[in-house]
Amino acid sequence: LASTMKVTEKCDVYSFGVVALEVLFGKHPGDFLLHLQSEGHDLLLVEALDKRLTLPTGVIADDLVLTVAFALACTSISPNSRPTMQFVSRELTANTVLPIDENFHLLTLQKLMKVL
C-alpha cells in the first residue's frame, strides 16, 4: 500500500499478519519484519513470543505454530506471495497441523517462513 497507494485484498491480509504477530509477540513487529526477511537473520520462536505469556504445549503449541506461520506468510514482502484471507481462515479453523519435526523450543522463525 505504501509504495503503490492501491488498496487491495493483499493489504488486508498483510494487516491481519501484523496484528497476529503483535498479539503473539507483545509488541508491534515493525522493523522486526524487515530484519527477519533479510538473509542470515534468524530467531527462535520462543525468543520472539511475548515473555508475559506461558509457553504453550501440546495442541496449543501446534495452533500457535500454525498461527505464526500464517502471520509470517501474510506479511511477505511480495503481495503476490501472500495467501488469501479465505485460505488463512479455512486453514486456521480446520485444525491443520504443520508437518514440522522440530522441537517447539528449537523452532526458528525462518523455518516457519518456509513451511507454507
In the chain, at which residue ranges do the beta strands (DSSP E only) sit?
none
Instruction: Say if CB 13 and CB 77 are below 8 A apart.
Output: no
Q: What is the pLDDT of residues 27-61, one digit of tens each?
A: 988 877 777 766 656 789 999 999 999 999 999 99
Specify if 67 maps to a domain: yes
Residue 66 scores a pLDDT above 50: yes
In a domain, residue 3? The reply is no
The predicted pLDDT at position 1 comes to 45
Cα(48)–Cα(103) distance, integer angstroms: 16
| Domain containing residue 87: CATH number | 1.10.510.10
Tell me the three state secondary structure of residue 110. Answer: helix
Residue 1 inside a domain? The answer is no
Q: Answer whether residue 84 is part of any domain.
A: yes
In a domain, 90, yes or no: yes
Mean pLDDT on 92-114: 88
Query: Is residue 4 included in any domain, yes or no?
Result: no
CA-wise closest residue to 69 among 116, 24, 106, 35: 116
Structure letter (DSSP) for residue 108? B
Is residue 13 within 8 Å of 83, Cβ to Cβ?
yes
User: Is 83 contained in some domain?
Assistant: yes
What domain count does the chain have?
Answer: 1
DSSP output for 24-53: HHSS--HHHHHHHHSTT---BHHHHS-TTS
